Structure 1
């Protein structure tokens, strides 16, 4: 076994239920060691940039260039 001291030690064996409830509330508020849930990536078909209109070429030859692939 390891020789590290315990992280929690009971000092008063005659603790009242209110004191035990306070300790439980503090430890539950601290949270666990688990990582926060990760956000799912947004699929490309539902991203906001797909809603924007593309900028069409302008100037001489713009009408012809608007039909060409980018």
Structure 2
């Protein structure tokens, strides 16, 4: 394949620019290596948040505990 040769060729129909962009995005996503997951970093803001599924506790002083990091 030469440098001037396109990577994709439309053989039927007349796709819009958005449709072509969606196709290229899907192909690039599928071609990404799946061996190692991407690194996820947590900021201090998100690490102090309540874990998913934990309900707030009602009662005296609950308003104060709701704003403090754990």
TM-score (norm 2): 0.28
Whichever of the two has the greater Rg, that structure is 1
TM-score (norm 1): 0.28
